[in-house]
Chain A
Amino acid sequence: MRDPDRLLQPTRRHFLGSTALGLGALAMAELLSAPARAGGPRPRARRVIYLFQAGGPSQFETFDPKPRLRADHGRPLPDSVRAGQRLTGMSANQAILPLAGSFTDFARHGRAGIDVSDLLPYTARIADELCIVRSMHTEAINHDPAITFFCTGSEIAGRPSMGSWLSYGLGSANANLPAFIVLVSKDAARDQPLYARLWGSGFLPSEHQGVQFRAGKEPVLYLTNPEGVSPHARRAMLDALARLNADQAAAELDPEISARMAQAEMAYRMQASVPEVTGLADEDDDTFELYGSASRTPGTYAANCILARRLAERGVRFIQLFHQGWDQHGGLPAGIRKQCEQTDQASAALVVDLKRRGLLDETLVVWGGEFGRTAYCQGRMSPGDYGRDHHPRCFSMWMAGGGLKRGIIHGRTDDYGYNILEGGVHVHDLHATLLHLLGIDHEQLTYRFQGRDYRLTDVFGKVVHALIA
């Protein structure tokens, strides 16, 4: 079946003109290309920037202070708290599970007095923008299933990723860039791998798969002309190609041929638009200072945050950053300090920058990992050093921007940070809420594969209205 989006393309180009990418034009383009919204909730945001902190950041050293753990430091986790819940094979067999108090202090920030750890001074400064969820929970307790679950709504490989669903549901707002772009930090510790599946399109058509933009001379694979082939020569080649295909189309009457011609032209436009957006040369010094000095080095988390903003400005639907290195089974104090130093300033700067450009209201920024960490120490505890195992039953994330409440903490965990007391937000709920904010009813965004109508949220998910302004 022909893609309705593509059928509409000439119309959209007509509205957009060749360069006009102003918001009015964008809105019109979205109206034209957003069947997913028909009858859906009122859209509050147009796009998502998802700052994925891979490995599982500890909630105890970031957003969920637990004085009790300091008081009970070294004492075993009470059985009544664990209540027989499963542990990973890494700590399930430990003779004792000693509680580990956080090495870092917390202070209250912003008008609402939001607790933020001392490791995150820049994030603390945007406390009034943050919608912090302390009551996230998930199913899986190992990285691969957990991160796959977060990114695709299923632990099973082969399901479409969040961004692919959005690309499928909302289409692209920029004819010259993919709708779903992935940026992986080059400066992160590669403790746990990432995989193409996390931004794969699963059973959705591959045009919806995330396109990874990489630092270096070829930001998109195969984007660069072979050596010696000038843009001028490429244009001539494409003109010849168009004539070949036009002749073939006349002979065969196959609509696929004209679609292929259009795709070749879009490829050509991408060759210009991608380097334009990935080159940060036109950013001013103030901006680099805002994001931190690492932002001058392409491929760093900080540089990727700037790039994310640039992509957001150009209407990319889903921009997903991955920053690895949060898997502190041991040596947590030193490890998480480094992680925070790499990401804190730029994450906060992104929110500030979006806000000052008037984009925050229509952009959802999400920060978080695939699970949290245990209240108890994994392995040996020594004075000043400890590690934490994976913990799926509660962990913290933050969001900011389009349609969300600002300066709030949602959900509450017990004194040990082990179980949720109120306001639990499951991964499916988060997905449902993100879709809702984008104007999509998560139960309506379906795709039939193998005879089943699949959703990002499977048969689960509730919109968490408490988060929505």
Chain B
Amino acid sequence: MLRPGAAIPLLLLAACGRESAAPLPGAASAAPGAGRDRPHWAFVPPEVAPRPPLRRADWCRDELDRYVLARIEAAGLAPSPEADRATLLRRVSLALTGLPPAPEEVDAFAADPAADAYERRVDALLASPRYGERMAVDWLDAARFADTYGYQADWECRVWPWRDWVIAAFNRNQPYDQFVRQQLAGDLLPDADAGTRLATAFNRLHRQTNEGGSIDAEFRQEYVSDRVHTFGTTFLGLTVECARCHDHKFDPVSQEEYYSLCAFFSSIDEAGTYPYSTGATPRPAMRLPSPAQATDLALAEARLHTAERDCEAQRAARLPAFRAWLDAPPALAVASARARFALDGGVEGPTGDATRLDGDSGPSFPDLPAFRRCDPYSLVFWMLCPDRKARATVVHTSTFTIESDQQGYQVLLKDGRLCWEVIHLWPGSAAAVATVDEFPLGRWVQVAVTYDGSSRAAGLRVFLDGAPAPVETVRDQLDGPATVRSFQVGFRDRDVGFQDGRVDDLQLFDRCLSAVEVAELQRSGALAEAVARAARGEEVPGLLDFFLASDAPACAAAAALRQARAAHQDLLEAVPEIMVMEESRYPRAASVLTRGRYDQPDHARPVRADRAIDALLPFDAAWPRDRRGLAEWLTSPRNPLTARVEVNRLWSLCFGRGLVPTQENFGRRGEPPAQPEVLDLLAHDFVAGGWDIKAMLRRIVLSATFRQASAASPALLERDPANQLLARGPSYRLSGEALRDQALAASGLLVERLGGPSVRPWQPAGLWEDAGATGAYQPDTGDGAHRRSLYTYRKRTAPPPALLVFDAGSREQCLARRAPTNTPLQALVCLNDPVFFECAQALARRAAREAGPQPRSRVERAFRLLASRPPRAAEMAALLELYQAQEVELAADPAAARAILGADPPDPALAALALVCSTLLASDAVVTSR
């Protein structure tokens, strides 16, 4: 921590300065070889250093110990003795599972004379399902995983299935390169499946907004940038975000490279806001059916295909009947509309009175018949467009205003062209077409738009003045409900209305009108002419459809198809969805953004997804130009950073501090490793050994370095206060999650169940309301109160307060390392948080139950349950004194004893023991891993 005015001069402007930044004065941390001409240590691939000569080589258990010992010996010091078995087992258990060992496990380990006693414990810990949970905590920080979207309204987003994927991946020891590849590009892999696609949710865990008035393009760029920053920090330990506005000042990341990275991550068909009113899951998304749902869906899909085939077969089968009908047609008429709106507004129109629109208001028709996307329907109306419209809302059905709230159907003018769209969520889930030609101006045109209930763009047709208009497909990926209940004409709140446009006589049909019917609506007699032409042997498009629409066998097949679609959609739409990555079929052009501004693309500097950071590793021509290629680049053995960053993360997990302490920054401005040989050895071996995470952790915790006692001598403390030489074992304050989990485990309250929806343990009332956040926090009362903390519901704008006190972030952005602090509020949480006090109560009961009536044995039991080791004499004396004094006081105050225990009877000894346990929960022996 550097303070202004402290010893190190800090005269420079902010390092990322758009103004010139002076070279770093006193930049002691800028690494050996920080000059521009010499490559930075982290940007050259790791190599194993020569074996150093050692005096005490027998101390070493692993190759890594040799390098550590060499530095210790060079400093004229000696390594510390091995930690006692209780301490060691506690240390390694907390590191690998986030939970303390049970006293019985400690006893068994202490009494185990076998040479591999420790190894077997380590293997058991790595095999425990608790291992994956512990590993996930750090990964969730990096992935900015939360249960809400963040930003202002901060509504719930359902992404916990991805968290369970992470836990499972760690537990089955998925190699790190696969782990990374699947999260980056699981949708693009040759062996992609539901699991690998789910993994890509990693890229969608950034915050999203639905604040009214937000500009879609602005936030879409924010999301893309967030993916790139998370990619840089998590996998490369680089702050690529500096290059958003200009070439990176210190690290070799150019602005072009930044936007090329953006191009890898911007190729999905997403919206810049999530919906306010429809509840739709942002696209792209995948469905996560339960096994039963999957079975039902497969069945429904089969039925749907059968019904489609039947319908198609009817067209052929009914041809003879059609020909017979042509010879003797009955009275020809278009069946009347389901609803008709005169749109009388005092101006002259083709059917009398018409409406002129002002762009900010217009007719609204609530309570229309509800059309689903399996229902065919058509709209026929007259409109007059006075001038070329870049955008104008003509008819629409959405209830709210931001783009992602558009749902149902709509007719718009965009760039002068008429668009006909059926939408679940724009643009990721919609079927939409636009006319090839611009809409005629200055005259009345009869517009007919039809939809056949197929959820496909091919089922959308546009007719102008009775004739089919050629259209282009704009979107063809409708896969969610698009139910319609109302519509508005000529305007939409906060959208561009049909200013000075005129509309008249709108008819709504609950059928997909055939071309001949549309023609008939335009000009009476057109239908009869069509029949006559067909009878002469001419091919008349749409006439067969007209016939089939009133033909009993064809109608039966159509009804069956509609039924099959409805049944399939009912099932499908009940299946939970989750945001994932999926390449868009409608790519957007990408270019460098001037000064990083979303609205200032520099078209002279187009970018493609074809390079990452060349100074680290050029992009191989053989790699695909997409996220899969980027994953190849990242997991290439020649990438100098990927393995280093990961082994550093694993080291930090065991030691509480990385070999590179700035885990988030391996660049020139990060802190260089105090033990570069160890880092490079492990990085090298990690890749050579198949990116095996468990094997790497096992190796680290089995090392002599890790096994040392953490106690310092005055000389060592003086010489190496930060323990850079590793001449003593690790010690660090536990995370907020580990502290709570430890208390729950020791007291017997912990509910060990893997995965599932996030839970809501107790937190102080009113926090969500204070934040003005939607809804109140309702604490769980059952198992949810006592699950491991990684399952605790994470609301980004109101994070769990006790975790926040212990430096857990808000998950609003990627966090590679939590800053360890030591504050008064931490003491208050340990002593006063009802969750911790509940653990103290339960622990007292457990200790009393298991240790009998003797105060000394009770205290010892509680101490060992929490701290894993027996108390020393001075500790026992302090606790016994507290116990006995409080027992006397509480015997005189049964109300207090009852309150402390939260129940009758007001046993003063038990209540005093609860106070002892509460005190222990705040003590160093419990709070710190040593």
Q: Which A225-262 residues sit within 8 Å CB-CB of chain B?
A: 225-230, 232-234, 236-237, 239-241, 243-245, 247-249, 251-257, 259-260
State the CA gap A454–B925 with chains docked (Å).
Answer: 36
Q: B919 near A: Cβ within 8 Å?
A: yes
Q: Is the interface of B mostly helix, strand, loop or mixed?
A: loop
The answer on a CB contact under 8 Å between A4 and B3 is yes
Q: Which stretch from B7-15, B159-167, B624-632 is at the chain A interface?
A: B7-15
Q: Which A188-239 residues sit within 8 Å CB-CB of chain B?
A: 190-197, 200, 203-207, 209, 211-212, 214, 216, 218, 220-230, 232-234, 236-237, 239
Q: Which A14-59 residues sit within 8 Å CB-CB of chain B?
A: 35-40
For B494, the chain A residues whose CB sits under 8 A away are 89-93
The answer on a CB contact under 8 Å between B4 and A244 is no
Chain A nearest CB, measured from B77 CB (Å): 15
State the CA gap A55–B819 with chains docked (Å).
Answer: 32
Beyond A86-B215, A143-B152, A205-B821, is A324–B772 a contact (Cβ under 8 Å)? yes
Query: Could you list 11 examples of A-B contacts with CB < 8 Å?
Result: A89-B402, A195-B797, A195-B798, A207-B822, A211-B825, A226-B834, A236-B886, A244-B920, A253-B717, A389-B213, A450-B670
Chain B, Cβ-Cβ closest to A230: B896
The answer on a CB contact under 8 Å between A252 and B813 is no
The answer on a CB contact under 8 Å between B874 and A142 is no
Q: Which stretch from A66-74, A335-343, A438-446 is at the chain B interface?
A: A438-446
Which 6 residue pairs of A and B lie closest in terms of their CB atoms, listed nearest first?
A451-B669, A228-B899, A95-B359, A88-B213, A193-B772, A195-B797
Q: Which stretch from B93-101, B519-527, B603-611, B659-667 is at the chain A interface?
A: B659-667
Q: Which stretch from A263-271, A310-318, A349-357, A396-404 is at the chain B interface?
A: A263-271
State the CA gap A95–B607 with chains docked (Å).
Answer: 36
Chain B nearest CB, measured from A429 CB (Å): 16
The answer on a CB contact under 8 Å between A236 and B885 is yes
The answer on a CB contact under 8 Å between A157 and B150 is yes
For B380, the chain A residues whose CB sits under 8 A away are none
The answer on a CB contact under 8 Å between A89 and B213 is yes
State the CA gap A451–B12 with chains docked (Å).
Answer: 13
The answer on a CB contact under 8 Å between B925 and A244 is yes
State the CA gap A390–B494 with chains docked (Å).
Answer: 14
Beyond A96-B360, A459-B19, is A196–B799 a contact (Cβ under 8 Å)? yes
Q: B714, B798, B895 — which one has the most chain A CB atoms within 10 A of its CB?
A: B798
Q: Which A149-192 residues sit within 8 Å CB-CB of chain B?
A: 156-158, 168-169, 184, 190-192
Q: B497 near A: Cβ within 8 Å?
A: yes
Q: Which B803-823 residues sit within 8 Å CB-CB of chain A?
A: 804-805, 807, 809-810, 812-813, 819, 821-823
Number of B interface residues in the complex (CB < 8 A): 128
Q: A455 near B: Cβ within 8 Å?
A: yes
The answer on a CB contact under 8 Å between A237 and B5 is no
State the CA gap A159–B635 with chains docked (Å).
Answer: 31
The answer on a CB contact under 8 Å between A200 and B810 is yes
State the CA gap A441–B5 with chains docked (Å).
Answer: 11
For A232, the chain B residues whose CB sits under 8 A away are 889
The answer on a CB contact under 8 Å between B878 and A453 is no
For A157, the chain B residues whose CB sits under 8 A away are 150, 207, 810, 812-813
The answer on a CB contact under 8 Å between B895 and A228 is yes
Q: B764 near A: Cβ within 8 Å?
A: yes
Pick from A194, A205, A263: contact of B771, CB under 8 Å: A194
The answer on a CB contact under 8 Å between A206 and B804 is yes
Q: B4, B214, B877, B922 — which one has the most chain A CB atoms within 10 A of its CB?
A: B4
State the CA gap A237–B912 with chains docked (Å).
Answer: 10
For A35, the chain B residues whose CB sits under 8 A away are 3-6
Q: Which stretch from B567-575, B584-592, B705-713 is at the chain A interface?
A: B705-713
The answer on a CB contact under 8 Å between B797 and A197 is yes
Number of A interface residues in the complex (CB < 8 A): 110
For A221, the chain B residues whose CB sits under 8 A away are 764, 801, 825, 828
The answer on a CB contact under 8 Å between A192 and B772 is yes
Q: B915 near A: Cβ within 8 Å?
A: yes
For B13, the chain A residues whose CB sits under 8 A away are 443, 453, 459
Chain A nearest CB, measured from B11 CB (Å): 8
For B796, the chain A residues whose CB sits under 8 A away are 195
State the CA gap A446–B826 with chains docked (Å).
Answer: 26
Chain A, Cβ-Cβ closest to B491: A95
Q: A141 near B: Cβ within 8 Å?
A: yes
Q: A448 near B: Cβ within 8 Å?
A: yes
Chain A, Cβ-Cβ closest to B599: A86
Please encode chain A, from 430 to 465, with 1 for each CB lying within 8 Å of some chain B CB and 0 for all others.
000000000011011111101111110011000000
The answer on a CB contact under 8 Å between A450 and B233 is yes
Q: B151 near A: Cβ within 8 Å?
A: yes
Q: A3 near B: Cβ within 8 Å?
A: yes
Beyond A206-B821, A247-B875, is A89–B215 a contact (Cβ under 8 Å)? yes
Chain A, Cβ-Cβ closest to B816: A450
Binding site for B on A (CB under 8 A): 1, 3-4, 35-40, 86, 88-96, 141-144, 156-158, 168-169, 184, 190-197, 200, 203-207, 209, 211-212, 214, 216, 218, 220-230, 232-234, 236-237, 239-241, 243-245, 247-249, 251-257, 259-260, 263-264, 266-267, 270-271, 324, 379-380, 389-390, 440-441, 443-448, 450-455, 458-459
Q: Which B855-886 residues sit within 8 Å CB-CB of chain A?
A: 872, 874-875, 877-879, 881-882, 885-886
Pick from B151, B497, B822, B899: contact of A263, CB under 8 Å: B822
The answer on a CB contact under 8 Å between B923 and A245 is yes
Pick from A95, A249, A260: contact of B358, CB under 8 Å: A95
For A451, the chain B residues whose CB sits under 8 A away are 15, 239, 250-251, 662, 665, 667-670
The answer on a CB contact under 8 Å between B878 and A240 is yes
Beyond A244-B878, A251-B711, A251-B872, is A195–B154 a contact (Cβ under 8 Å)? yes
Beyond A86-B599, A240-B882, A446-B2, is A207–B821 a contact (Cβ under 8 Å)? yes
The answer on a CB contact under 8 Å between A264 and B922 is yes
The answer on a CB contact under 8 Å between B211 and A144 is yes
The answer on a CB contact under 8 Å between B875 and A244 is yes
Q: B250, B497, B896, B924 — which one has the most chain A CB atoms within 10 A of its CB?
A: B924
Chain A nearest CB, measured from B908 CB (Å): 11
State the CA gap A157–B209 with chains docked (Å).
Answer: 13
Known A184-B770, A196-B798, A454-B14; further 20 A-B contacts with Cβ < 8 A: A37-B5, A95-B358, A193-B772, A193-B773, A200-B810, A214-B766, A220-B828, A222-B764, A223-B832, A225-B832, A237-B831, A239-B882, A241-B922, A244-B878, A244-B919, A257-B928, A267-B824, A443-B13, A452-B239, A459-B18
The answer on a CB contact under 8 Å between B810 and A254 is no
Pick from A184, A206, A211, A455: contact of B819, CB under 8 Å: A206
Q: B411 near A: Cβ within 8 Å?
A: no
State the CA gap A92–B18 with chains docked (Å).
Answer: 31
State the CA gap A459–B595 with chains docked (Å).
Answer: 14
State the CA gap A184–B875 with chains docked (Å).
Answer: 43
For B717, the chain A residues whose CB sits under 8 A away are 253, 255
Chain B, Cβ-Cβ closest to A204: B819
Beyond A89-B213, A228-B900, A252-B710, is A244–B924 a contact (Cβ under 8 Å)? yes
Chain B, Cβ-Cβ closest to A264: B827
The answer on a CB contact under 8 Å between B3 and A270 is no
For B721, the chain A residues whose CB sits under 8 A away are 255
For B771, the chain A residues whose CB sits under 8 A away are 193-196
For A448, the chain B residues whose CB sits under 8 A away are 2, 15, 669
Chain A nearest CB, measured from B356 CB (Å): 12
State the CA gap A227–B12 with chains docked (Å).
Answer: 53
Q: B897 near A: Cβ within 8 Å?
A: yes
State the CA gap A444–B14 with chains docked (Å).
Answer: 9
Chain B nearest CB, measured from A219 CB (Å): 11
Beyond A256-B733, A266-B824, A446-B10, is A36–B918 a contact (Cβ under 8 Å)? no
Chain A nearest CB, measured from B766 CB (Å): 7
Q: B750 near A: Cβ within 8 Å?
A: no
For A229, the chain B residues whose CB sits under 8 A away are 896, 900, 915, 918
The answer on a CB contact under 8 Å between B212 and A90 is yes
The answer on a CB contact under 8 Å between B5 and A248 is no
Q: B829 near A: Cβ within 8 Å?
A: yes
The answer on a CB contact under 8 Å between A233 and B915 is yes
